[in-house]
Amino acid sequence: MRYPITPEYLKTAPDPIADLYLSLEETVIKDICRRFRLSGTATNSAVEQIKILKRKGYSQEEIENAIAKTLNMSRAELDKLFGGAVDRNKQYYGGVFDKVQLLDADVDMLAAQSEIDAIYAQTAGEFKNITQSLGFAIRDQGEIKFLPIAATYQKVLDDAELEVWSGAVDYNTAIKNAVKRLADSGLQTMVDYASGWHNRVDVAARRAIMTGITQISRQYSESAAETLETPYREVTAHVGARDKPGPSPWSSHKEWQGKVYSVKEGDKYPSIYRVCGLGFVDGLTGANCRHLYYPFVDGVSERTWTDEQLNNIDPPPFKYQGKEYTAYEATQKQRQIETAIRQAKRDCLAYESAGLEVDYTDASVKLRRLREEYKAFSKAAGLRTQPERMNVLDFGRSSSAKATGRAEEYHAYWLKSIGAEKTELKTLAKYYDGKYNNSPQYRLLEIYARDVDNGWISPNASFARYVEAYNDIQNNIVGKITSNGILITGQREHFMQRVLGTGRDPKKYKDDHRIIRRSGVEIEDIKQALFGDSVVEPPVIQNNGKRSVRFIGAKCVVTVNPDTGELIQTNQRKVK
């Protein structure tokens, strides 16, 4: 056994209990949101609808039952978790004592049961505190305020009533805003009433577990070190350790992980306090730190990691979508996407419970996009995907299938709205495969959709015609030499806007509300201007400092950069 409690074990151990509290969060948010559905008769005004909800108040009986159930289940999980941690330590130190031939050493004496019980009671007490101070962090007059569940219910309804009464929004929009505030906050617990510090319930539960396991491990470690009569400690190491410098000398954990230190000053090994920051919140065993330490007997123990292994513990940096990531940054990015996916799932549940169909669709589309990004980023980083970290317990197969179906429906609707229903990327699977594998079809669709959205191209032009014209240019114009000897190497993105034509120049309309229509240009006319008998004007320098040459053909004018060979723009020629 390398270590009794490895960084990898410490990373995943809190998951079952954290999941219980995430499930509790989903229950609370869904319970509140379902109450927001329209009640009463259809003739009631929106303001009256809200007043009906306020008069009913918020009964917490169902929620209190869910809280009690969560607390009981978390204690059962805690029993298994702490029992496993104790067994791991006993097995490990039994092997250590055998190795150094301490035959009279008793692993059962390393940590008194009363000490383990005290750590258990403290951790169980943390769970009780978490469930007794549940609420939401709601923005009120520019400040984030923590409100208990029932007070939150009344607060969001008060705000919705004011929004509707003032005429600023309709009922659905007001309720959407309320649901979003709840989902964005997530179920929180008051950590420190004096300071007003609050945290999400799953984060608080995870921290309580990691603190408890760390305390057990340190209890065994210090007692074993005393038995072994050694002042030395070996620190654990793991891939993707924090590698960013900070305000403290020990902020970059990668610098000190996996090495041997002393609890004494001026010893042969560096001080574990000065180098690793043991005892400080941003140091060894501090907040969100998965490193632990174990006794090291000089001359007997062998280091788990050599200096060479530590220097190469992380894979080399890699690039993803133009940005470079270290191993630590990659794991952080992966965690961020996982968190966003869980949030999107909660949004789906909340909007569905409140009957907000449009917002449910938006959340479903976002969820699908995040899932595809997660797969693509993890593949680029060489990281294992961890679907268990994105579980939302009320979001099962049925919810997932419904959200996926809704996202597919929207994708088909979007393609039709921009005149691209005949694209090869008809399904979301093909669309995201094209996106993350940089397919030419995806790149063209991206540019075309942006131009349609901005008003440069009418959706009536159709994506099929866009692709046909683009390929015609690439195959029959790019790679050819103009009448004055310029090799055409490619086309600017906005060149296609002028080829297909613009119903209303969005820039001119935005600047002074002038409607400027630009007719499209035939490919054959562009060829004639570039390669046939046309007037070629001398190069001029544009405002951006780059040169351009105009080819004036029989029916159109084409502008080319003579230095790069790129097609810049084309317009129909006005013949008097």
Structure tokens at 82: 């702490």
Structural tokens at position 51 = 């007043």
φ, ψ for residue 197 (rounded to 5)? -75, 125
The span from the CA of 501 to the CA of 499, in Å, is 6
pLDDT score of 41: 40
Tokens standing for residue 524: 């054959």
Q: At what angle do helices 46-56 and 171-185 cross, to 10 degrees?
A: 40
Give 485-490 contacts, CB < 8 A, sequence gap 24+. Answer: 486/549, 486/560, 486/562, 486/565, 487/565, 488/530, 488/560, 488/565, 488/566, 488/567, 489/564, 489/565, 489/566, 490/565, 490/566, 490/567
Q: Which of 468, 478, 492 is closest to 527 using CA atoms?
A: 478
pLDDT of residue 249: 93
Biggest distance spanned by C-alpha atoms of the chain = 110
Q: Say what the pLDDT of residue 475 is.
A: 95
Q: How far is CA 69 from CA 65, 122, 209, in A?
A: 6, 20, 18
Residue 42's pLDDT is 37
Q: Which residues of the chain have pLDDT under 50?
A: 39-43
Calpha distance 62→539 (Å, rounded): 77
Rounded to whole angstroms, the Cα distance separating 105 from 85 reads 20
Query: Are 238 and 7 a contacting pair, CB within 8 Å?
Result: yes
User: Which letter does DSSP use for residue 486 in this model?
Assistant: P
Structure pTM?
0.75
Structure tokens at 234: 């070996």
